[in-house]
C-alpha cells in the first residue's frame, strides 16, 4: 500500500492512530483489518471483557482510556450496536480521542442531539453516525469505504451517502481523476459533521483543488452549504443530489432522507446550489463528467 506522498489530509492522515471500538465483532474485525492493510495505523481495539486478547496482532483493551494511555490512540472508529453507540462516543471523547468516526446506524436521534452538543463544545471532530467513514487515498482509510476504487488526486468528495459516494468515486477513477479525501458524513438527521464543516476543511486543504458535494433529500444542509460556498469558498464546487423522484413523507432508507411538507426536496436543493453557481449533475456519471470538464478547462 502507498506510503509515500504528502502526510497531510483532512479528518484522517498519517498521524492517525486508530482505535476500533468493536474490533472483535465481525464488521469491526473485517473493516479494521482492511483499514490496517490499507496502511492506516490501527493501534488498538476495544471490547469490554476482551482486554488482553488481540486481533491479528492488534491489542484489544477493555476501555478506550487504556487504548489511549497505552497505544496513544487519537482517532476512534465505532462499530458497536446502535443502543451502545453514544456510550461508545462519550467513552472515546472522554478518554481524549479527538476524532470519532461512527459507522453504526439507527442511533436514536435524541441521544445524538446531546452527543452533538457535548462534542462540539469540546472541539472534537466527529463523522457519522450511519456513515461510511473517511478515506484519504494513499494516506489512511478509516471506515468501510472500499479504497481500491479510489485513487490519489486533488478532488475533495463529501457525501451523505456511502454507496453513492463509491459510485461517484468509481466514475471519477474511470475518468482518470483521483481524490484528496472522501468523507461520508452520514444519512441521519443529526450527524457530527455537516457539509459546511467538511467543505471548510477542503477549502483550507492545500491538496484539494475541487470539491464535489453529494447531497440527498431531507433537511437543509445542502442549502446551507450553498450559502457557505458562496461566501467562503474560492475553490470550484460541483454537486449531485439524489432523490428527485422521491415522494413526500416517505423515509428513503436514511432516517434523514425525508421530504417534509414543501421542504427538503431535491429540486429545491438543486435550485439553491445552482443559484450560487454550483453546477449539479443529473446522474453520478454526469457529475463525474462535469468534474473532468472542469479539470480540462483548468489545466
**Which residues in the 252-281 window bind another protein by CB under 8 A?**
252-257, 261-262, 266
Q: Does 149 bind another protein (CB under 8 A)?
A: yes
Sheet holding 75-78, edge to edge: 54-55, 58-61, 41-46, 17-21, 75-78, 99-102, 125-127
Q: Does 40 bind another protein (CB under 8 A)?
A: no
Closer residue to another protein in complex, CB, 12/214? 214
* Binding pattern for the stretch 152-191 against another protein, x by CB under 8 A and - elsewhere: -------xxxxxxxxx--x----------------x-xx-
Q: Does 145 bind another protein (CB under 8 A)?
A: yes
Q: Does 128 bind another protein (CB under 8 A)?
A: no
Binding another protein (rule: CB under 8 A), the pick from 183, 246, 278, 290 is 246
In the complex, what is the shortest distance from the CB of residue 176 to another protein, in angstroms, rounded to a whole number? 16
Count CB neighbours of 81 within 10 A.
12
State the catalytic residue, choosing from 106, 110, 170, 254. Answer: 254
- Cell numbers describing residue 227: 450559502
Give start and end residues of each alpha helix (H) in 161-240: 163-174, 195-204, 221-232
In the complex, what is the shortest distance from the CB of residue 214 to another protein, in angstroms, rounded to a whole number? 7
Residues 49-78 that bind another protein (CB under 8 A): 49, 51, 62-66
Contact present, 239 and 222 (Cβ < 8 Å) = yes
Cα–Cα separations (whole angstroms), residue 291 to 101, 119, 173, 183, 287 = 28, 34, 11, 17, 6
Count CB neighbours of 226 within 10 A.
26
Residues 9-38 that bind another protein (CB under 8 A): 27, 31
232 is catalytic: no
Q: CA–CA separation, 64 vs 62, rounded Å?
A: 7
In the complex, what is the shortest distance from the CB of residue 40 to another protein, in angstroms, rounded to a whole number? 16
Question: Which positions are catalytic?
Answer: 254
Amino acid at each position: 500500500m502507498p506510503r509515500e506522498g504528502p502526510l497531510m489530509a483532512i479528518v484522517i492522515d498519517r498521524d492517525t492512530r486508530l482505535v476500533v471500538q468493536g474490533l472483535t465483532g465481525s464488521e469491526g474485525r473485517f473493516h479494521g483489518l482492511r483499514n490496517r492493510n490499507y496502511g492506516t495505523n490501527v493501534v488498538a481495539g476495544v471490547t469490554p471483557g476482551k482486554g488482553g486478547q488481540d486481533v491479528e496482532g492488534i491489542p484489544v483493551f477493555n476501555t478506550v482510556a487504556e487504548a489511549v494511555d497505552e497505544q496513544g490512540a487519537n482517532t476512534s472508529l465505532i462499530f458497536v450496536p446502535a443502543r451502545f453507540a453514544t456510550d461508545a462516543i462519550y467513552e472515546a471523547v472522554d478518554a481524549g480521542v479527538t476524532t470519532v468516526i461512527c459507522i453504526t446506524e439507527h442511533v436514536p436521534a435524541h441521544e445524538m442531539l446531546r452527543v452533538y452538543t457535548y462534542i462540539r463544545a469540546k472541539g472534537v471532530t466527529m463523522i457519522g453516525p450511519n456513515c461510511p467513514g473517511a478515506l484519504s487515498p494513499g494516506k489512511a482509510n478509516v471506515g468501510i469505504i472500499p479504497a481500491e476504487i479510489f485513487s490519489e488526486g486533488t478532488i475533495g468528495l463529501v457525501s451523505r451517502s456511502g454507496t453513492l459516494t463509491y459510485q461517484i468515486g468509481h466514475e471519477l477513477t474511470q475518468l482518470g481523476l483521483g481524490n484528496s479525501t472522501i468523507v461520508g458524513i452520514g444519512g441521519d438527521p443529526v450527524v457530527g459533521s455537516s457539509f459546511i464543516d467538511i467543505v471548510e476543511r477542503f477549502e483550507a486543504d492545500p491538496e484539494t483543488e475541487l470539491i464535489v458535494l453529494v447531497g440527498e433529500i431531507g433537511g437543509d444542509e445542502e442549502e446551507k452549504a450553498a450559502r457557505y460556498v458562496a461566501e467562503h469558498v474560492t475553490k470550484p464546487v460541483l454537486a449531485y443530489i439524489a432523490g428527485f423522484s422521491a415522494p413526500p413523507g416517505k423515509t428513503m432508507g436514511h432516517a434523514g432522507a425525508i421530504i417534509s411538507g414543501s421542504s427538503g426536496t431535491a429540486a429545491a436543493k438543486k435550485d439553491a446550489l445552482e443559484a450560487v453557481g454550483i453546477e449539479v449533475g443529473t446522474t453520478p456519471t454526469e457529475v463525474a463528467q462535469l468534474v473532468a470538464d472542469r479539470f480540462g478547462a483548468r489545466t
